[in-house]
Structure 1
Amino acid sequence: MNGYEGNRTLRGNHIAVRSEARSLTYSQLHDRASRLAQVLATEGLAEGHRIAIMMPNIVEFIECLAASAKLGCAALSVNFHLAPAELAYVLADSQASVLIAHTDLKEVVSAAEPTCTVIFIGDESSSGYEARLAAASAEPVHYLWPAPWPVIYTSGTTGRPKGVVHGALASAEVLAYSQNMMAQMWGYTEADIHLVAGPLYHGGPQGYANLTLFAGGTVVLMTKWDAREFCRLVEQHQVTTTFLTPAHFIRLLELPPQEFAEFDLTSLRHVLHAGAPCPVSVKLRMIEALPHAEIWEFYGMSEGGATRASPAQFEERPGTVGPPWPGVELQIIDPETQEVLPAGRAGLVYVKPAYGRFHYHQDEAKTEDAWLADSFTVGDIGYLDSEGWLYLTDRHVDLVIKGGVNIYPRQIEEVLHQHPEVVDCAVFGIPHERDGEHLHAVVELRAGQSQATPQQLQDFCVLHLDRWSCPDSFEIIEELPRDPNGKVLKRVLRQQAWSDAGRNI
């Protein structure tokens, strides 16, 4: 693989990135990123420093990533939905030297009162992004690194976000090795056209955009998610690869079959999905809807990748997220005794990464909690089969203890997804005076044709689950709350239900 510098030299006229508004070849990306790197250098940014990037999916986001690779500084992707107090915390905690933000976010940025330099895209003054690039020298700045080194703040379920820092990646050699390994593992090549369907501040959408640029392909940016627009862009640009989440699958499957069939999606050869457990029924329907594409699931997080499963592997063992990545090892640990559990026993999933350790920025306690010897956990519960393939059962934080019995809501959500009128759902525990917790299901039904009642949903669950594991109450709502990547915000629903209880467990 060529990396950013090699693609500039060998594939200069090839389109590197495009949006509805504009596109850049690899040569143009190199030129603009060189100018930006010089602007950042005048602000004191140097190797090992951090640049914060806060904007929607626009071409300038890629320019910022490329400039960070030229300077050898970390690219800190900031969720542009943050409130001022949250933004202030991330900027202060990360010690970012410069923030580049879209002018539409000026009110939020100003309210955060950042102490670092701020450059606004869309600001037409002499201090704005375009004016400063135009005033910078046209002298080329070569890439110190073959790809950007990302630092991503995880949203978490409680407490403040955590900045995940992969210190081992902060070198040209290790970055090149990791990107080459990923490109070979997924089969990404310079011929690929990759559609970014989720926000670039998320690890998955940004990671596979970076991988495509490392390989010399073309990245196509969606401004925001829309199922019809996704299909249109795949057809228009002959997209070959993409990264999606189960929420994206659900919305694609909600398109009327006749309308979905009108789009030519046959160019799509490789679909990666992660971000949340995918209901088996949804995954099987998606495999049927895209018979020409290989739909691979992987289990990973900002902290590191762990497993992957091909369509054939998934159909052979429904529900699996597959065997480990090359060089990765898995263990299932009892959270109470910290003993290694045998095949078939559920416990905390621990991952031994292929290279290096991460740490949470300026948080030794959280880092120490995550690691056990040379393996880490993010709190997911799962088990291994006899051949070492992983099955996820739930998040540790989502565990419901009902009358002293451990119940994992994901198995209930899997059942509800089989109901023909259910689009999506979330099951969690709510306070109960006698049993500690009871199970509550919040359900989004198919629009326009759904007649299912809470009692009918209860009866459906009874057919597939033991009664103790069935939800004790149901709530039907028009639309479940979601984050910008489409993931159901279960913690928001849980907080609403527990707000009057005076306790959290």
Structure 2
Amino acid sequence: MGKKIWLKQYPPEIPDTLEYRKVPIHEGLIQTASEFPDRSSIHFMGREMNFAALLVDVRKLAAYLQSLGIRKGDRVAVMLPNIPQAVISYYGILLAGGTVVQTNPTYTERELEYQMKDSGAKAIITLNLLYPKVSKILKMTDLENVIVTAVKDALPFPKNLLYPIIEKKKQGMIVSVKHGHNVHLLSKVLKQPAGSLVQYAYDIEEDIALLQYTGGTTGFPKGVMLTHKNLTANAAMCRAWLYKSKRGAEVVLGLLPFFHVYGMTAVMILSVMEGHKMVLLPKFDTEATLKTIQKLRPTLFPGAPTIYIGLLNHPELEKYDLSSIDSCISGSAPLPQEVQQKFEQVTGGKLVEGYGLTESSPVTHANFLWGQKRVPGSIGVPWPDTDSAVFSLETGEELPPGEIGEIAVKGPQVMKGYWKRPEETEQVLRDGWLYTGDLGYMDEDGFFYVVDRKKDMIIAGGFNIYPREVEEVLYEHPAVQEAVIAGVPDPYRGETVKAYIVFKAGMSATEEELNAFTRKHLAGYKVPRLYEFRSELPKTAVGKILRRALVNEEKVRSKAAAENADIDSA
């Protein structure tokens, strides 16, 4: 033990250790714009933007943020889908010296208010459609300025004229925002000449580039502090793993949301760092995605199992040419073997499973794409400069191959800690190791396997859902006495959210009523899809609800249902 036995599996093209540039993330854009000024950086709905133009807009925004009082270390939130402005905002904040706070555009006012309060963000960049939501929480937070953009601002003519009409049809209204006071239109900012820019010195191992919110042992989201070194190191590891890709020559499908760390690192940062063109899609639509692949010929396609499953199940899949796709690393949830095999047959490319978590920027393990051994059901082997081990839950000692314990990782991509939460940081960062909360084992060849989660987090459709957060909302319903949330198997989403409810004496509510209630306070992907009403819930001797017992019940039901289906089909 203590030896990286997986290194013997590495092909000659992947080095055991890498050299990392000691510069902040935004320097990657400056270098790429110098090397490939005319290379297309972003394709969005028919409009192209080259790296030189991207850098010009980033500098304009950075100078404007500084004119608003943003200084080094100040937090600025980005609440945008995958549109060009999301890339401009991310790099503009960093160039201004700020720290990015990625915010999910589907958040409710409650969720948004919590994140803004916790992060202490001084400004937020958001869509015109989301401005009414943002405006309602301003007084409860430290937000001093709101920068507003619109999807139409990134569209080519005549789509930019037609889009507001489509928007009005969908939303029933057009949200009009005026430039003035503490509200600023990004379109006006980018039309102005760039102002002077204060240059800061950076300690890339200490300076925080990103606060990425995730759940925790308390059930409330907390900010993961990722440094410039964390993120650039993980992107460099990704580049090393994709060793057949060529600098300045690849086309990357940007479907994974940038407000999730996987999409941000594996698509945005990697593409900017390597001079690849990003083809941005603001949401996943199977037909639109298939048409985009056929027309724009992406070569790299980081994704999640639900995305690949959705494409493979399109009724007219055979109509589309997907042969441009060369490499895909799937994350966020386990990748079914049959999905991997079918996708590779359809595209002719390679699809492998990877593993990581927000706290590691995020990737730590992956299977090999080319030539080397791939093990079904395995999350692969650790990336360069990444160490991994399995520790006993009882003794804390490192376990030999084949024995199940908690998976831990160590490497330059591991977070600095949790924002303003030293005690929770100490729980997961111990002796240089990040304890993942996932249970698994390593085989004799150094391949790792996840068998269960120590944490109760649910991964549905690639989104992380934390039961306590949903339970807190359900407990606010006047008829609910007890509530527990668990993830149950789902053939499409991987897992789905199920609520087990005990009502107060003499009271009740329907599934429809509870659904409407939770949707007022939670993003749609967190809302329970299934409900089970019970007279009591399983508990320990001290009254703690046994969530795991409910999960095990569901596993038994699923297994029985599958066996009955096999008997019926026979």
TM-score normalised by structure 1 residue count: 0.75
Partner residue of 1:186 out of 239, 242, 252: 242
Contact 1:148 1:210 in 2 (8 A): no
Task: Give the whole-Å Cα distance in 2 for the aligned partners of 1:17 and 1:359.
Answer: 32
**Any idea what the Cα deviations from partners look like across 1:430-464, whole Å, max 9, x if unmatched?**
xxxxxxx9x99665699xxxxxxxxxxxxxxxxxx
Partner residue of 1:84 out of 101, 109, 125: 109
Partner residue of 2:39 out of 1, 10, 14: 14
Contact 1:23 1:59 in 2 (8 A): no
Contact 2:393 2:405 in 1 (8 A): yes
CA 1:336/1:36 → structure 2, altered by over 3 Å: closer, same or farther? same
Task: Give the whole-Å Cα distance in 1 for the aligned partners of 2:47 and 2:208.
Answer: 22
Matched, 1:120 2:148: yes
Partner residue of 1:339 out of 391, 397, 416: 397
Residue identity matched to 2:545: N
Q: Which moved more, 1:150-159 or 1:11-20?
A: 150-159
Contact 2:334 2:353 in 1 (8 A): no
Task: Give the whole-Å Cα distance in 2 for the aligned partners of 1:260 and 1:85.
Answer: 40
- Cα shift at 1:118: 1.5
- Cα shift at 1:372: 2.5
Q: Residue 207 of structure 1 aligns with which residue? A: 265
Q: Residue 276 of structure 2 aligns with which residue? A: 217
Matched, 1:309 2:364: no
**Any idea what the Cα deviations from partners look like across 1:23-61, whole Å, max 9, x if unmatched?**
321111111111111110012112222221001111110
Partner residue of 2:190 out of 121, 133, 145: 133
Structure 1 unaligned regions, length at least 5: 400-408, 414-427, 429-436, 447-482
1:32-43 residue pairs with structure 2 within 5 A? Answer: 32-43=57-68
**Any idea what the Cα deviations from partners look like across 1:237-291, whole Å, max 9, x if unmatched?**
11111211011121112123xx22221111111111110112223223223332x
CA 1:242/1:175 → structure 2, altered by over 3 Å: closer, same or farther? same
Partner residue of 2:254 out of 196, 203, 209: 196
RMSD: 3.6
- Cα shift at 1:316: 4.5
Contact 1:124 1:131 in 2 (8 A): no
- Cα shift at 1:391: 0.7
Contact 2:235 2:265 in 1 (8 A): no
Task: Give the whole-Å Cα distance in 2 for the aligned partners of 1:54 and 1:497.
Answer: 36
Residue identity matched to 1:77: Q
What secondary structure sits across from 2:282 in the alignment? coil
CA 1:441/1:128 → structure 2, altered by over 3 Å: closer, same or farther? closer
What secondary structure sits across from 2:52 in the alignment? helix
**Any idea what the Cα deviations from partners look like across 1:204-227, whole Å, max 9, x if unmatched?**
111122111111111111121012
Task: Give the whole-Å Cα distance in 2 for the aligned partners of 1:443 and 1:181.
Answer: 32
Task: Give the whole-Å Cα distance in 2 for the aligned partners of 1:274 and 1:369.
Answer: 25
Matched, 1:262 2:319: yes
Matched, 1:298 2:354: yes
1:423-434 residue pairs with structure 2 within 5 A? Answer: none
Partner residue of 2:344 out of 266, 279, 287: 287
Partner residue of 2:306 out of 247, 258, 277: 247
Contact 2:149 2:185 in 1 (8 A): yes
Residue identity matched to 2:43: R
Residue identity matched to 1:242: F
Task: Give the whole-Å Cα distance in 2 for the aligned partners of 1:143 and 1:22.
Answer: 33
Q: Residue 327 of structure 1 aligns with which residue? A: 385
- Cα shift at 1:95: 1.9
**Any idea what the Cα deviations from partners look like across 1:84-114, whole Å, max 9, x if unmatched?**
1211111121122211111111222122233
What secondary structure sits across from 1:31 in the alignment? helix
Number of paired residues?
425
Contact 2:234 2:265 in 1 (8 A): no
What secondary structure sits across from 2:382 in the alignment? coil
**Any idea what the Cα deviations from partners look like across 1:286-315, whole Å, max 9, x if unmatched?**
23332x212132111111132110256897
Sequence identity of aligned pairs in percent?
24
- Cα shift at 1:340: 1.9
**Any idea what the Cα deviations from partners look like across 1:133-160, whole Å, max 9, x if unmatched?**
3345366888978999332111458611
Residue identity matched to 1:246: P
- Cα shift at 1:389: 1.0
Residue identity matched to 2:238: M
Task: Give the whole-Å Cα distance in 1 for the aligned partners of 2:137 and 2:103.
Answer: 13
What secondary structure sits across from 1:235 in the alignment? helix
Task: Give the whole-Å Cα distance in 2 for the aligned partners of 1:26 and 1:143.
Answer: 23
CA 1:339/1:220 → structure 2, altered by over 3 Å: closer, same or farther? same
Contact 1:19 1:222 in 2 (8 A): yes
Task: Give the whole-Å Cα distance in 2 for the aligned partners of 1:372 and 1:314.
Answer: 33
Contact 1:193 1:239 in 2 (8 A): yes
Task: Give the whole-Å Cα distance in 2 for the aligned partners of 1:197 and 1:128.
Answer: 26
Task: Give the whole-Å Cα distance in 2 for the aligned partners of 1:498 and 1:349.
Answer: 35
CA 1:156/1:102 → structure 2, altered by over 3 Å: closer, same or farther? farther
Residue identity matched to 1:20: M
- Cα shift at 1:177: 5.3
Contact 2:414 2:434 in 1 (8 A): no
Contact 2:79 2:124 in 1 (8 A): yes
Residue identity matched to 1:89: Y
**Any idea what the Cα deviations from partners look like across 1:179-228, whole Å, max 9, x if unmatched?**
44432332342101111112210111111221111111111111210122
Task: Give the whole-Å Cα distance in 2 for the aligned partners of 1:246 and 1:16.
Answer: 26
Structure 2 unaligned regions, length at least 5: 1-20, 22-26, 151-176, 461-466, 468-483, 494-518, 547-570
Contact 1:29 1:63 in 2 (8 A): yes
Task: Give the whole-Å Cα distance in 1 for the aligned partners of 2:251 and 2:200.
Answer: 23
1:339-358 residue pairs with structure 2 within 5 A? Answer: 339-354=397-412, 357-358=415-416
Q: Residue 332 of structure 2 aligns with which residue? A: 275
Residue identity matched to 1:368: E
What secondary structure sits across from 1:272 in the alignment? strand
Q: Residue 453 of structure 1 aligns with which residue? A: none
Partner residue of 1:64 out of 70, 81, 89: 89
Residue identity matched to 1:334: S
Partner residue of 1:161 out of 221, 226, 239: 221
Q: Which structure exhibits the higher relative contact order, with contacts defined as CA atoms closer than 8 Å and separated by 6 or more residues?
A: 2
Contact 1:270 1:293 in 2 (8 A): yes
- Cα shift at 1:124: 4.5
- Cα shift at 1:320: 0.9
Q: Residue 474 of structure 1 aligns with which residue? A: none
Q: Residue 376 of structure 2 aligns with which residue? A: 318
What secondary structure sits across from 2:117 in the alignment? helix
Task: Give the whole-Å Cα distance in 1 for the aligned partners of 2:526 and 2:451.
Answer: 16
Contact 2:102 2:259 in 1 (8 A): yes
Q: Residue 373 of structure 1 aligns with which residue? A: 431
What secondary structure sits across from 1:382 in the alignment? strand
What secondary structure sits across from 2:302 in the alignment? strand
